[in-house]
Amino acid sequence: MNNETHGGGIRRIVIVGGGTAGWMTAAPLAQRLARHPTQPCEITLIESPEIGTIGVGEATLPTIRVYNKALGLDGADFVAKTQASFKLGIEFKDWGHLGNRFFHQFGDFGPPLAGISAHHHWLRLAKEFNQMPEIENWSLASVMARENKFVPPNEDTPGMTDAYSYGFHFDASLYAHYLRDYAVARGVNRIEGMIVDVEQHPENGFVRAVKLRDGRRVEGDLFVDCSGFRGLLIEGALKAGYEDWSNYLPCNSALAVPCASAPQLTPFTRSTAQEAGWTWRIPLQHRTGNGYVYSNNFTSDARARDVLLGALDGEALDEPRQIRFVTGRRRKSWDKNVVAIGLSAGFVEPLESTSINLIETAVGKLLELFPDRDCSPHLADEFNRFMGIRYESVRDFIVLHYKLTRRDDTEFWRHCAHMAIPDSLQHQIELFRATGRVAILDRAGFAEPSFVAMMMGLGVTPKRYDPLADRVDIRAVHGHFAELRDMIAKAAARMPDHGVFVANQAAAAKAASRAAA
């Protein structure tokens, strides 16, 4: 084997593609590696202005805050620079059945009682009382969203009314630019150019260099493929293969369009089930992001456009942009000396805002398993094992949304109700329906309250609850739920309007910027 791929530390990393995935990869690599005092690493990112970015991933999970904090980003500055708003969860409309509305919150339904999750005690009360209010009334995040309130929880000394979390809505292109400035300031070399050829080692197949249309040749020891759906390196060069999940997730198209902001800046994403898929609404400071994810096997593009434009709550600011996709993942996200991150690694539709989370996860795992120049296949195997579990657990959680429908008003929903689903998800649904228990198959994925919110919101009422809940004095259960509901109402009443809070954050960032200048 040639010395260039045999042992020794990584000296040159080449990231192919910019956008959200490319710059989310570049920023932490630059922070950790670019100017290391003893083993600095040259990091180059190549992006082409000729290749557009998808740019619809504008809603996140709370894990984005961990990523931002690790980079040392200032929260108020981030909100101002990315036109961000806060996200307490997702409101679902017309999912399960027409007229249905429920909320998937970032938080729980109150603390456990006697070591038993709160939803079991709620099920016990609901069995005794026909008029039991919906369980989301015991979720502070849900009540805050309903009343359009927001303040961050006290995470230093949290109390019962701090048991919620939050993510963000932001302009994905502004976020990419924000991280680009961060990464370039820390040593990342940005190159504009179109890659026209990939040079591989003749013996082991490692990628040695990429060639640009203007004749430049960029060498590397480790290549990160952030080239989007086309997977320029992972698939174009290495033929890693793709596992197609269209049999579980029938949507294959999307239309995206921004519109003028509504008068009220809401602290949640909205997902509305439509005749052949679902529409999203993501509120930012300067506009609202909208889209329609649908199957063109069950509707036409023209009809989808009409549905999307008819769902807007403000004037459209552009023409809807068409996106085609095949849900699934690469059979190998890490092959030889190429690691695929973002859309090049796989795509599960953005119903639960998981795309950016999967980028965070992949970048973190790459740093955890960072290789020498020989790129041990054992490291690649562990990366692929871990990311495979993550993608499959996200897939199953998304499939759940479709499978549990009781809608039969269109051919699309009839198809979803009767389609086959993964055995892993079937087990989770049947377990919850029979016993109220939640099987968490991926500890890095969605937690118990998320499954409870989704399955109960979609109409699954467990036949039983944990029998140990009956050992708790019913008066204590009543008292606990009454006290918690009262505390939640009072806590939400004290909070500022979400739009006011965002405006204050943006003003604070501008004042700090002026002071620094």
Please provide the DSSP assignment of 311-373 as one string.
H-SS-B-SPPEEEE---EEES-SEETTEEE-GGGTEE--GGGS-HHHHHHHHHHHHHHT--BT
Nearest to 224 by CA among 333, 369, 353, 348: 333
Angle formed at CA 250 by CA 247 and CA 254, multiple of 5 degrees:
145
From residue 440, how far is each of 221, 306, 431, 465, 490 by CA, in Å? 38, 39, 11, 17, 33
DSSP state at residue 72: T
User: Could you say which DSSP state residue 131 is in?
Assistant: T
**Positive/negative CA dihedral, 113, 119, 122, 124:** negative
- DSSP states along 387-420: HHHHHHHHHHHHHHHHHT----SSHHHHHHHHS-
Q: Please provide residue 355's backbone torsions phi and psi, each rounded to the nearest 5 degrees.
A: -60, -50
What gap in Å lies between CA 66 and CA 75, rounded to an integer?
11
Cα separation, 428 vs 497, in Å, equals 38
Strand order in the sheet with 346-347: 242-244, 328-330, 346-347
- The Cα–Cα gap between 299 and 279 comes to 14
Pairing of strands 42-47, 189-192: parallel
Nearest to 398, CA basis, from 436, 324, 451? 451
**Tokens 């960029």 belong to which residue?**
218
Distance CA 28, CA 48 (A): 22
| Residue 7, SS3 per DSSP | coil
What are the backbone angles phi and psi of residue 416, rounded to the nearest 5°? -65, -40
The backbone torsions φ and ψ at residue 90, rounded to the nearest 5 degrees and listed phi first, read -125, 130
The amino acid present at 517, given as its one-letter code, is: A
Residue type, 407: R
Does the annotation mark 332 as catalytic?
A: no
How far apart are alpha carbons 54 and 395 in whole angstroms? 20
Residue 300 burial (CB count, 10 A): 11
- 8 A C-beta contact, residue 97 and residue 409: no
User: Is-contact 509 80, C-beta < 8 A?
Assistant: yes
| C-alpha–C-alpha distance, residues 417 and 457, integer Å | 16
Catalytic residue of the set 69, 81, 87, 336: 87
* Six token digits for residue 319: 């023409």
Catalytic residues: 87
